[in-house]
Each structure stands twice: as structure tokens, then as C-alpha cells.
Structure 1
């Protein structure tokens, strides 16, 4: 990847709830829209929006950074990422809750061409609801990724 490039992408896959009494489903389908701005060959700023589909509907915004490992002489680019998140959990036992947290992940992208990527990513998010009685919860996302450079 070259400095100054902007990549737009989409991710889709299951998200699994881990270790919480929060009344959200154990699994849901997640859809993510992402933007990656490459400011150095291995470093990017990332931002995105995530929407879950289940009985409870999470809607979150995310912002963070991504580091790509290079020098493999292959069309595969492994990476790690870290993000902060904030959003809403809609219809948690009839209530809408604000949520804040952090997410770490790792994945690999395969360059189909210089402008198209497909890949896979696994990410763990630790988040908390806000308010009088906050509840901590974790999610594990397993996502297929697609991206195109502008």
C-alpha cells in the first residue's frame, strides 16, 4: 500500500457474545463499512460503522489504527489493528443503551489486483454500557473483508 491511498471496504460475518449477563443474543450477523487512510506504507488510520442484525441491534462507530506487516514478496498482507468504539445497543429488553469500548484484531488481506482486496479478520471487543448500572461485555467477530482503493 502507498501513502495517501484511501480504501473503502465492507466486512460481514458472525459476532459472538462472550462473558456477560447483558441480555443480547449469543450470536448475531455483523455488517461493517470501513475507511482506511494509508499515511505510511505500513501504517493506516481506520474508521468505520458497524451494524448487528439480531433481536438486539448494535450500531457502533469505530476509530483507530492499523499496522501491516510487509516484506513477504506475496500478494498477502497480514495486519493488526486497535480501535475505540462508541454507539448504541437498541432493544436490550426494551431499552436502548449507550456503549463504549475498545477492539483489537488481526487479519490478512489478499490483493486480487492493485485496487481490490479480499481477506479475513478476527477481532475481540471489550465494551461497557453507560448509565447508573453499567454492564461489561465482550464480542468476538469473525469477518470476511472486501475493499477497493479510490
Structure 2
């Protein structure tokens, strides 16, 4: 199954994970303290509140938030040069943006193999360092 990281339909992905894990609906209802129609409604939604999604992550043992992180890596605009916006926060933690998962590497390699983008376009658009991309090319040439 290919996941569309540009248009994440988290309800659909949750329902697919439920099928993979073969979890009984009564267990899910007990976990969320709700009735079956509410669970079915969640599985049809495009997005969920973060606390609800966190519960799904725990129940299904899958990090659905990582899908959104990958979306940010692929589709967020380049970092602003505005010092006011990029000022270090005393409250919020700072994360490295270059966390590459298998899904991201697979996506990039598909773009290259299908001729959708060349190496320079990928380096420029997704800000993947040239050395990293060439390591992927040698390591995953049969991807």
C-alpha cells in the first residue's frame, strides 16, 4: 500500500491498521470508552485531534504522527531567513528536520527512477544534502 504523504487521510490509515492488527471492535470501543458508530466515524475522518490520534498510536502500536513529519520534510517551504521567526524558543524543543525514514527514501528513489525529478531538483526542492542523496543512490540502486 502506497501512502500519499501530500494528502494524509488518517482515518483511512487507522482503519487499514486495524485490519492489519486484527483488533476486535469491542476492544477498541472499550479503549476509547465509546460506541462503535463513533469509532466508525473516526475511521472516516481526514484528520483527528492530536490527543485522539495519540490514543490510536498507542492502541495500534504505530506512529501516525510520523506521517505528518514526513509531510513537513517533503512539502514545507524552505526555512525563513527572518531572525524573528527563527529565534530559538526557551519553551519549545528544537528538532532536526533531516530525519529520513524508509518511506521518504522510497519516495525520493521513485522520483529519480521514474524520471519525475533529477538529483539536482531533489537536492534543491527537498533540501537533502548531496552526499546523503548519493549514498542513497549507491545503497538503494535497486529500490
Q: TM-score, normalised by structure 1?
A: 0.21
Determine which structure has greater relative contact order: mean sequence separation of CA pairs < 8 Å that are 6+ residues apart, divided by chain length. 1
Larger Rg: 2
